[in-house]
Amino acid sequence: MKLVVIGGDAAGMSAASQARKRIGPGDLEIVVFERGRFTSYSACGIPYWIGGAVDDRDALIARSPAEHRKNGIDVRLRHDVVGIDLDRRFVVARDLADGGEVRESFDHLVYAAGASPVVPDWARVRDAGVFGVQTLEDGDAIHAWLDGSGVRPHPRRAVVIGGGYIGVEMAEAMIQRGLQVTLLEKSPEPMGKTVDPEIGAMVREAISGLGIEIVTNAHVDGVETADGRVRAVVTPGGSLPADIVVMGLGVRPNTSIARDAGLPLGPTGGLRTDLRMRVEGLENVWAAGDCVETRHLITGRPVHVPLGTHANKQGRVAGINIGGGYATFPGVIGTAVTKVCDLEVARTGLTSHEAGQAGYEFVTATVESTSRAGYYPGASAMTVKLIAERRTGLLLGAQIVGRAEAAKRIDALALAVWNKMTVEEMTALDLSYAPPFAPVWDPVLIAARKATDAVHAG
């Protein structure tokens, strides 16, 4: 039996590794096609490597191609899959090194091609200092540009386009590298699709405090280049000087090959799968990672949430099932976290905008508290916002912003959302307490009490 995997990062290699654990090389041949030069790496770590918090690029690689091959997985780097024939059960891949084509048959197929960055036509400028941050190769290219490889003088001015997770993290990385940085965001506040506006305003304040110029409600018309280098970003308000431009405009499911092969896509553009990560309507075709859509456990609607946490879990589920076991991936609730310098930002469940779009009537409660007992050294302020259904008090979502020891409290709130708790039930949660770690009333509990009052008042 042969398993062919398209994509050698989190989802694809998790699927291959789990299948291999259950079926030995004598009974299952595994071939993985990866268009890049690396496998099993943390794309989320790229901004921290560029900014200097992580010294060694290779520290981002969880398992090398050689390690996978040692485990009996035939990893073929620099191979781009260009076609899938479902009837005759084979894939066609192009060897990017010599341009030749390879045809490989399969009994099971895992489609784990990830996501493609959103890139406007004006940003498709080759070798001029305009970069995305999608792959480890992108990180290498940014590092080389910043280090002056082929660029003299070294870049001094950076423009980051997009104020989501990647944009905010890359803006911080650029300022840590000593560049003058401008961050452009089309929404009224940064992280506008992630948190509510008042939380986004706190992020904007923190970004500005780093010395980053942030322009909201921004529109970009294009870039200016000269002598093979970017010189400026063009906006309706004028040109912004730039020696490097970093794009952080989000991603879309990379499903063009799947679509051409007739695999079913959902309204988000991602592949539709069942709970076992099998592509709907196909017995031996599986999909996982940033190329699939999944179910939001609060709204029940299909969503595309491209995060490494989900990709690893989905790949693991697919591999277990291919290997003869049984596993499911039930869905997501949108838990995520990031930081800007020492400001931590986290969310789970629905934002106020998302709750309204889903048709909920809801109340909100926002509290200011501290990470530790107020008298204990190092206590820092944090803000917790809860969103609860008006009638039932069901916790719909939560957001946290604060300094050290703030963001990981989102995990307790994520568990509450996942288990469909009401805010009143949450007031009795048995959370840990000691002055170095929390006030006697943890900020999560204070917010739950205030949200309960709002529900009863409604």
Domains in the chain: boundaries? 2-35+43-116+251-322, 119-247, 336-457
Task: Confirm whether 44 is a catalytic residue.
Answer: yes
For residue 118, give the 3-state DSSP assignment: coil
Domain covering 336-457 in this structure, CATH number: 3.50.50.60
102 pLDDT above the threshold of 60: yes
Average pLDDT, the chain: 95
Distance CA 299, CA 346 (A): 20
Q: What percent of the chain has pLDDT over 90?
A: 93
State the CB neighbour count (10 A cutoff) for residue 180.
Answer: 17
Give yes or no for residue 234 having a pLDDT over 60.
yes
Q: Determine the pLDDT at residue 149.
A: 61
pLDDT given for residue 334 in this prediction: 96
Quote the CATH superfamily of domain 119-247: FAD/NAD(P)-binding domain (3.50.50.60)
Whole-number Å distance between alpha carbons of 165 and 344: 12
Residue 76: per-residue pLDDT: 98
**pLDDT at res. 404:** 84
Widest CA span in the chain: 70
Q: 10-22 and 308-322 helices cross at what angle (nearest 10)?
A: 30
- The pLDDT confidence band at residue 127, using thresholds 50, 70 and 90, is confident
Residue 162, pLDDT score: 96
pLDDT in tens, 305-352: 999 999 999 999 999 999 999 999 999 999 999 998 889 999 999 999
Model confidence pLDDT, tens digit, residues 421-435: 999 999 999 999 999
Say what the pLDDT of residue 342 is.
87
The pLDDT of residue 362 is above 80: yes
pLDDT of residue 152: 61
- What pLDDT is attached to residue 151? 52
- pLDDT at residue 235 above 60? yes
Q: Does domain 2-35+43-116+251-322 have CATH number 3.50.50.60?
A: yes
The dihedrals phi and psi of 258, each to the nearest 5 degrees, come to -65, -45
Options 22, 42, 44, 435, the catalytic residue: 44
Domains 2-35+43-116+251-322 and 119-247 alike in fold: yes
Model confidence at 233, pLDDT cuts 50, 70, 90, reads very high
DSSP per position, 238-263: EEEE-SEEEE---EEE--HHHHHHT-
Q: Report pLDDT digits (tens) over 253-307.
A: 999 999 999 999 999 999 999 999 999 999 999 999 999 999 999 999 999 999 9
Q: What is the Cα–Cα distance from 127 to 6, expressed in whole angstroms?
A: 28
**pTM as predicted:** 0.94
Mean pLDDT confidence for 150-170: 88
pLDDT of residue 150: 57
343-349, strands of its sheet edge to edge: 336-340, 343-349, 395-402, 381-389, 362-370
Specify the pairing of strand 2-6 against strand 108-111. parallel
CB 122, CB 221: distance < 8 Å: yes
